[in-house]
Amino acid sequence: MDQTGGTAVTPKSPWGSAAPAAPACSLADVMSEQLATQLDEENNAFPALTDPAADLLLSDEASETTSDLMLAKMLQMQFDREFDDQLRREEKKFNGESKVSISFENYRMVHPYEDSDSSEDEVDWQDTRHDPYKADKPQTTPRRGFTGKGKNITTKHDAETCGRKNTARMDNFAPEVHVGDGLGMDLKLSNQVFNSLKQHCYSEQRRSARLHEKKEHSTAEQAVDPRTRLLMYKMVNAGVLENINGCISTGKESVVFHADGGSLEEQPVPDEVVLKVFKTTLNEFKNRDRYIKDDYRFKERFSKLNPRKVIRLWAEKEMHNLARMKKAEIPCPEVVLLKKHILVMSFIGKDHVPAPKLKDVVLNSEDMKNAFYQVLHLMQLMYQECNLVHADLSEYNMLWHEGKVWLIDVSQSIEPTHPHGLEFLFRDCRNVSTFFQKRGVSEAMSVYELFNAVSGLNIPVGAEEEAEFMAEIVALEKRNEDHVQKRGKKTFPVTCEDGDPPLKPDADD
């Protein structure tokens, strides 16, 4: 009560009515087993509440996940699985069909589990951070240059240590060098072997670079350099050619392409033509300048210091030789156009199929006999009417088309006044005679009879046939060379009626 004699009023709590205070109990009651049992019975009286989200996360092994730590690990693993799958899809979408791919491997979550749900067509993930094939790093020696003490001291020059270091340094070689792997092997390379391998790899890289650069600037096997390709494109754009179909033949000094003819203002272009592209690789022409430097038609223009001009002269020479042969009505390709080192000629064949070479065609005995007499007649026409020696006549440079023998590849053909003209003619006669005798042509002449029949020189054949015959040929060449240098005329009879610069037979002897 207060001083006025009234009853005391308890102030009202702003937090609502106060809960009744829990009854006080002693520490002994708390620790009693009877009280603990009573509390468990009260908890079991309430029904268990199930969480649907927890049921989805927990698998059949939920009985083993009573630990919160284990449950957290499983949840994290599931999250990592989903993250890795999403990363795979992003990488596959980013790379597409590109041959060069970008890897997101460093961003994935690596866990020691088997991903059995991943399909086989997905990216094969490999943890290169634990690559078993990666070479172990050799132990490095300290800065002082040795390890150990006393008798167990090991310097940086130790053979085993250097061997292991050299083996590990092989990984730094160029990718094209296949060094293999030494998984599980203690490989050691001596300094001598390693230095030899290193020098070899360096030399191979330089050689490969030289070949690549050379190929970019030269006409190679079944390929053309950018300059030649540009010339061919210009022919197509100008309408001379409709299209270029592909390579049909390759040789030591040229590549032959088949093309469909277009039109020219000066002359008609055949429906099918060939492009003879003389190779700009200089190796093929190092030993062939003797065919052109002594030819009076090109002697003044011959330049050994400018190989590209020599190659153009080679193409021009074949054009002039074909023109002579065409005037004498010898079966040969007809020249359509000459553009630097590209010669466009008529195609010998039909429907994109070239005529077979004489060495590949199968003829009966009568046709083979007829072919021999045709070749004999063609050689006589070339020598007597065209004033030419083929200089590379064989079954490889004669085609069989429409029952006739056609002569091709006359870029090296020379005149009989050439210092080696008769020697080249004798070689041609040997090739022709040997071929037809092997094919069983009984009428085929010997090499000496064929030479005399073509040249009309009637050189006698002695006991030692070839030695004496060649001596007579060399003597004739020497006498003719001296005479040509003095008078510019020939000593043995050859007639020429074409429009080329004449070299008439000598009338004084």
Residue positions annotated with a catalytic role: 392
DSSP for 228-293 reads: HHHHHHHHHHTTSEEEEEEEEEE-SSEEEEEEEE---SSS---SEEEEEEE---GGGGTT-THHHH
Give 408: exposed, middle or buried? Use CB within 10 Å, 0-12, 13-18, 19+: buried
Query: In Å, how far are 79, 115, 231 from 82, measured between CA atoms?
Result: 5, 11, 59
Phi, psi of 38 (to 5 degrees): -65, -40
| Number of helical (H) and strand (E) elements in the chain, helices listed first | 13, 11
Phi, psi of 243 (to 5 degrees): -160, 160
The rounded distance, in Å, linking the Cα atoms of 321 and 377 is 17
Closest by CA to 80, choosing from 92, 68, 88, 69, is 88
Looking at the DSSP assignment, which residues form a beta bridge with residue 278? 254
The rounded distance, in Å, linking the Cα atoms of 216 and 214 is 5
**If residue 407 lies in a helix (H) or strand (E), which one and from where to where?**
strand 404-407
Looking at the DSSP assignment, which residues form a beta bridge with residue 401? 404
Lookup: tokens for 368: 């083979």
The rounded radius of gyration (Å) of the Cα atoms in the chain is 47
Closest by CA to 450, choosing from 471, 468, 469, 464, is 469
Q: Is 487 left (phi over 0), alpha (psi -120 to 50) or beta?
A: alpha
